[in-house]
Amino acid sequence: MVTSNAQLRAVLFEKLRLHELCENKKLPKTISKQQQSTSEAALLQLQHLHPLPKIILEYRQVHKIKSTFVDGILSCVKSKNYISSKWYQTSAVTGRISAKHPNFQALPRQPLQIRKKQCIQGKEEDVVTVHPRDMFIPQEGWTFLAADFCQVELRLLAHFSSDPELLRIFTNPQADVFTMLASQWKVMSVDEVTPEDREHAKRIVYSVVYGAGRERLSGILGVSTEHASRFQDSFLQTYREVQTFIQRTIQQSHKKGYAVSLMGRRRNLPNINSPDWGLRMQAERQAVNFVVQGSAADLCKMAMITIFNLVSSSSSLSARLLAQLHDELLYEVEDSQVEQFAALVRSTMESLQHIHHLGVHLKVPLKVAVSIGKSWGSMSDLHTPPSVSQTPSSSFPTPPPPP
């Protein structure tokens, strides 16, 4: 059976003996019995040697979508045509809103595509697309509209660190940010940057934000720990002020016992001065992560509140917020109001670069991508005119002072 690791191990390594065909590759082993592993990491290394490992990976992906998402969501159906999730304001330590029963935020953004090669010469391969988000459609006469803060964590990292090279990336609003980042980091022209270079740069940024260690980064990038360490070190050498920001944040957290977000929210760190090295290091990673991710949560919540106030005070707009997914807001909008609401959402979210009465003045512009669709799984970009006016700072509610 595909779900039996013991039977898979027998076929892959005893019958097919695929591990013997791996040249210069050390396949992972199980921790308990030190047997050949059938994990995703192992199957990825074997998939070019035989068709079976790829089939197993595809089966696992489809099985996960069905068991985790489809079955789970169907169990939460309240009536024949709608599902209402439970949203929590305080369960995520970063301040982001979280969802349960079902957790819409866990639904994969990208569809799963399974390709089947044809034996008949000249016939194109079959492609089967599986996307859990396709299950969700707006009511008749309405459209889904999603507004996403683009690279908000990288922009906040540039703001907090004031690194001149990072800041320079955002001087060209039309440029692809992660391609520019890879170009700077690897000292090559933008045209020479490969998709792999871009993905490496993106992953390393998030490893810095999330505090991922070398081992974790090596797994994310699919390279050795040594390579991952060199990548991260060279990245931090290129953007020296990022390392200074990390050290400064950790030192302030040691002194105060907490970290502070862009808009003054605090996260207490009880283990920041712990004699236990592991607990102390974890608290230090949490401090850096909270400053960046917590600030992204601040911006997203401020956007939600401000847009709600604007819609409530409008005599014509009827859009409603359906979900918040990390740095993205998902709305349901009447078809006749899509263009008007898209322009309002984009200008409102991008204007959060400056919130005068809170003293928030980001050193980099905020950029918002808007997409629309008649199903959540088929969203396409909607290009609205660039923002020319700022939402008045007086329209922002004043939050209570931090404790």
- How far is the C-alpha of 71 from the C-alpha of 302, rounded, in Å? 34
pLDDT score of 24:
58
Higher confidence at residue 77 or residue 248? 248
Question: What SS3 state is found at 279?
Answer: helix
Mean pLDDT of 213-237: 77
CB 80 within 8 A of CB 52: no
Of 240, 286, 280, the closest CA to residue 260 belongs to 286
Q: Has residue 67 got a pLDDT over 70?
A: yes
- How far is the C-alpha of 102 from the C-alpha of 41, rounded, in Å? 29
User: How do residues 75-112 score in pLDDT, each as one tens digit?
Assistant: 877 666 778 888 898 888 888 899 888 888 888 887 77
CA geometry: angle 133, 139, 140, nearest 5 deg: 125
Mean pLDDT of 21-30: 70
DSSP string, 334-403: EGGGHHHHHHHHHHHHHGGGEEGGGTEE-SS---EEEEEESSTTS-EEE-PPPP-SPPPGGGSPPPPPP-
Beta bridge partners of 259: 267
Average pLDDT, the chain: 85
Q: Has residue 54 got a pLDDT over 90?
A: no
Q: Which domains are delineated in the chain?
A: 1-75 (1.20.1060.10), 142-152+298-395 (3.30.70.370), 155-283 (1.10.150.20)
User: How do residues 181-213 score in pLDDT, each as one tens digit?
Assistant: 888 888 888 888 888 888 888 888 888 777 777
Q: How far, in Å, are 43, 76, 212, 213, 294 from residue 273 at the CA level? A: 41, 43, 20, 20, 21
Of the pLDDT bands very low, low, confident and very high (cuts 50, 70, 90), residue 114 is confident
- How far is the C-alpha of 137 from the C-alpha of 331, rounded, in Å? 12
Of 96, 138, 133, the closest CA to residue 290 belongs to 96
pLDDT score of 392:
41
Of 101, 144, 99, the closest CA to residue 326 belongs to 99
- How far is the C-alpha of 133 from the C-alpha of 126, rounded, in Å? 21
pLDDT score of 342:
96
CB 134 within 8 A of CB 377: yes
Q: Has residue 388 got a pLDDT over 60?
A: no
Which residue is listed with tokens 């917590």? 294
